[in-house]
Structure 1
């Protein structure tokens, strides 16, 4: 058998291996929408942010409580152990009960502004929750695309190792018949060793991506489908910035925090104003026949004095602060400084969103251009590889030329896979910066969407002291039972892009 026929036989075996892998029928796959729906329902960052928002909702009810009536009842029982030596009427024991109702009438605007500040913080928290939602979605999209990219890179490297193994075997066969030298064999062995090292690195990266996917989604990735096209991407960065300034939730949240701080200043100023409240109180004292008080009736008989005392009163109380050691002024200045901080933070947030939007747009555009270049490189390197192999078969190319062409072809395919991942992630990040990457925008089909207004409407008017919620239970799913991930790739992905 000639050397050319030996080499041709091994090339045919490698091509058959790739063709068989490409034609393998894939199993049922996971979609990006399904992954986002799972993250939306069970990601602990998102479920924890929802719980934090429910805590913020209670601030309105807490502030309203300061303007509602307060009713107190107290009671005591006293047993005298040692009576005063100079008192002959001190009771041995006393049963006492008192009740007081206080109704605030005017609090200097503290309650009104406190409620407004709390409501504004609820609006800020809802905007922050939207931002958290889009951040989790962005991370999930990146993890989804990382798994697809790293799976493809492992497949490409594994196919490259298989081809280099075939090349090495062919080189050895040609060396045995005297068609090649020991140097050609050593070059093939070196490239195969490097390819195996690259494969191990790619497999480690794939395992890392799969574990990160589990941490975000809660389930292991299972044969992920290619993602759908991203809708609503802008034509230029200026259009993207205009949308972001209007719809980005981080900007909305920062502006609401600034408004809340302004109400805090007004509430702090109320501490120097008069307060008016109405009150009523009643008392009941029973000496349990231990009060030594007696009197004579009209017939001269000694009778026991009263053993029960009752009292009731009602009135209006006004409190006019004259001097409080400088505390009110310090509290107002403190609130004003915090308002100033919130103003600066709103500008900082706006700057950051503008920079993020422009950077995401530039990254998206650059990745699209990289895809075009990489596609051309893949096409050209493929033709080059076939040409070098054909020329080698007639003796005009060396084994090193084939190895270099195979390495160039692999590098172009890896670059194409990475560019596709980068373009999609950058595009989604751009939508998130514009405020258009929420569950409503993505059309998730995992059931009813979480509406923070439902809880706010439920608790904002509650007034009963014993109206507790049930003990909290975890909403996010744990991943302790998920198996450790490996670098195995589906046979269907064992093909070049």
Structure 2
């Protein structure tokens, strides 16, 4: 092994050692997901939205249940009563206190609007629960995306740091060789040019790493500056070579995807809202019972007390409301058509995303095999370059480039494996079959 290869290897080891944190501060994928369940603002907002939506069921049901109310009034009255008689006009001043109190109980017997409101509330409550499940599954995918983005940024940073350290050592060696007459100025200038490029790449890698960490921190909460992530295992478990065909995934998505199910419930809610508006043309029937006590409720009843109990049926028949019912019905019909089109658009978009993730799973497997071969080929090329240096056919710069290509192949292999895990999890998310067991399988792909 040439001294340049030793330098690059030592640079890589040093860069790797700088990224290793105290084990107690290491964060694996499972812990990151659990922390996101407690800290991610988007998830917490979705959970609160779901909790609010579940009350729609109770609100709709209230329209069908009995309504009991109590009313009390008390007033001081000063009244002047004028009356024309055969003897002329008489005036009487009345100063009295009146009061009334009573209970009224009503129970809808036939109310099409109230029944439609009940069914609308049930549909909205179901949609809220489904949206919450959709957000929970989406959180796992978002955490994995942010988690692997940090790991990939660390890989890029490690590669850039290692290359920079190796180039610095090579620059010092070239200067010594040129000073002693053993090296060429061309080699020295080439090393210096590459060093400037690498400096820029290191700065870019630092920015990408910080941006990736910030994105992860948004999900999981504040991370210590020394916290590290559990890396992907060198031989991560296979997530499922015998995956079902694409048509099977589509069937699962149409039947189980919580987002589609929520959209269907919202469509049902819009349909019930239309029925509710159309019910403005229909009569309603209510059973009522009241118990009322009144004392001096009018000028001609001063000093008289009435205790009245009533039970009966009240029928209300709408006749004309200035066109409000027709306009509200047409608006609700247009809203229903909008909900139907939105469901179609969501379904088409979901199936497209599902197919894209399905093909990404398949292509990522091929990419992993190709990059593994590339890593092996880069390693063989590096060994051949080192032997050629000993024979005088190659220069140290050739070894530097070969070593760099080997590290790049390893980095690209890691990216392909990250993409595979993300596509596999996203595929199950779109199909609506993602569960805690899948999260555990992904977590098992990362070393503690």
SS at match of 1:72: strand
Aligned to 1:454: none
What's 1:352 paired with? 349
The separation in 1 between residues aligned to 2:240 and 2:375, in whole angstroms, is 30
Other-structure match for 1:27: 23
What's the counterpart of residue 209 of structure 1? 212
* Partner in structure 1 of residue 283 of structure 2: 274
What does 1:363-382 correspond to in 2, within 5 Å?
363-382=360-379
| Structure 2 CA distance for aligned equivalents of residues 292 and 193 of structure 1 | 102
d(CA) in 2 for partners of 1:287, 1:41: 63
Secondary structure in 2 matching 1:226: coil
- Cα distance change on mapping 1:275 and 1:8 into 2, 3 Å: closer
Question: Compared with structure 1, are the counterparts of its residues 257 and 375 closer, same or farther at alpha carbon in structure 2 (3 Å cutoff)?
Answer: same
Contact 2:150 2:213 in 1 (8 A): yes
Work out whether residues 71 and 99 of structure 1, in 8 Å CA contact, stay in contact via their aligned partners in 2.
no
Cα deviation code 1:430-470 (max 9, x no counterpart): 111111224465359xxxxxxxxxxxxxxxxxxxxxxxxxx
Deviations 1:260-298 (CA, angstroms, capped at 9, x unpaired) = 22323333232211112233444444569xx999xxxxx
Q: How does 1:222-261 map to 2 (within 5 A)?
A: 222-226=228-232, 229=237, 231=239, 234-261=243-270
Q: Indicate if the aligned counterparts of 2:12 and 2:159 stay in contact, CA closer than 8 A.
A: no
CA contact (8 A) 1:230 1:427 kept: no
Provide the residue aligned with 2:305 in structure 1. 309
Choose from 180, 191, 196 the match for 1:193: 196
Separation in 1 of the partners of 2:331 and 2:257?
29
Per the TM alignment, residue 306 of structure 1 is displaced from its structure 2 partner at its CA by 6.3
Deviations 1:89-125 (A, max 9, x none): 5532423123241413334322222212211222222
Gap change, CA 1:20 and 1:157, over 3 Å in 2: closer
- Contact 1:188–1:403 (CA under 8 A) maintained in structure 2: no
CA 1:267/1:10 → structure 2, altered by over 3 Å: closer, same or farther? closer
Matches within 5 A, 1:39-438: 39-80=36-77, 83=80, 88-220=91-223, 222-226=228-232, 229=237, 231=239, 234-286=243-295, 307-314=303-310, 315-438=312-435
Q: CA deviation at 1:198?
A: 0.8
| Structure 1 residues 262 and 84: CA distance shift in structure 2, 3 A | same
CA 93–241 in structure 1, closer or farther in 2 if over 3 Å, else same: same
| Bigger relative CO (Cα 8 Å, ≥ 6 apart) | 1
1:231 CA drift (Å)? 4.1
Does the Cα contact within 8 Å between 2:32 and 2:143 map onto a contact in 1? yes
Q: Is the 8 A contact 2:292 2:309 kept in 1?
A: no
C-alpha separation in 2, matches of 1:101 and 1:47? 42
Gap regions ≥5 residues in structure 1 = 1-6, 294-304, 445-491, 493-497
Shift of 1:245: 1.9
Query: Is residue 256–residue 433 contact of structure 2 (8 Å, CA) maintained in 1?
Result: yes
Structure 2, unmatched stretches of 5+, are 84-89, 442-446
Greater mean deviation of Cα atoms: 406-415 or 197-206: 406-415
* Residue 421 (structure 1) shift: 1.9
**TM-score normalised to structure 2 length:** 0.84
Structure 1 consecutive aligned stretches of length 4 or more whose deviation exceeds 6 Å: 20-26
Greater alpha carbon shift after TM alignment, 175-184 vs 329-338: 329-338
C-alpha deviation, 1:237, in angstroms: 2.4
- In terms of mean alpha carbon deviation, does 213-222 or 383-392 score higher? 383-392
Q: Which moved more, 1:167-176 or 1:14-23?
A: 14-23
Deviations 1:345-402 (A, max 9, x none): 2222221111011111122222222222222222222322333243234432245534
Contact 1:265 1:335 in 2 (8 A): yes
Rounded Cα–Cα distance in structure 2 between residues aligned with 1:252 and 1:236: 22
Q: TM-score, normalised by structure 1?
A: 0.77
Deviation at 1:45, TM superposition (A): 1.6
The separation in 2 between residues aligned to 1:94 and 1:162, in whole angstroms, is: 98
* Displacement after TM superposition at 1:224 (Å): 2.1
Matched-pair contact (CA < 8 Å) for 2:51–2:128: no
How many angstroms apart in 1 are the aligned matches of 2:305 and 2:373?
101
Q: Distance in 2 between matches of 1:440 and 1:55?
A: 29
Secondary structure of the 1:437 match is: coil
Write 1 or 2 for the structure with the bigger share of helix.
2
Contact 2:9 2:162 in 1 (8 A): no
